[in-house]
Amino acid sequence: MIRWLLRAVVAAGLLGSAWVHYVVWRDWASETDVVGQLFLVNVVAGVVIAVAVLVWHHWLPVLAAIGFGLATLGAYVLSLTTGFFGVSEQFTTQAELWGVITEVACVVFAVPLLLNREGTDR
């Protein structure tokens, strides 16, 4: 039961991050060369990985969820500090807050799934 709840929270984090990236892409990122395309990649990847986490009880989609969360958070931290492909953020919007929350959830709730793989295909 706990493993299923963890999977559901990880999938919700992935879908939430995908939604945030879609909204931001629609608002302004679609007009940005590299970042706009990367936001669309995040939208698709978030949905695909979320489905995989829910239906394929294997460690690979869980690892992908962790990688997704860390890579997306890393790109966001770069945009806050040094800039990321010409984009500099300031952490002032609701979308930025929800993006951080959903991506942290991907990592925090997927790590226990990865470390305790009882009852999964290995």
pLDDT mean values, one per 10 residues, the chain (122 residues): 92 96 86 85 97 95 96 87 72 82 95 77 46
Q: Can you tell me the distance from the alpha carbon of 57 to that of 54, in angstroms, rounded to the nearest whole number?
A: 7
The answer to whether residue 65 sits within a structural domain is yes
The answer to whether residue 121 sits within a structural domain is no
Strand partners, 84: 87
The answer to whether residue 47 sits within a structural domain is yes
Q: Domain of 24?
A: 1-116
Number of Cβ atoms within 10 Å of the Cβ of 7 = 21
C-alpha triplet 22, 77, 101: angle, nearest 5°:
55
The answer to whether residue 122 sits within a structural domain is no
pLDDT tens, position by position, 27-38: 877 888 887 789
Instruction: Name 34's Cβ contacts closer than 8 Å, sequence gap at least 6.
Output: 85, 86
User: Does the reported pTM lie above 0.95?
Assistant: no
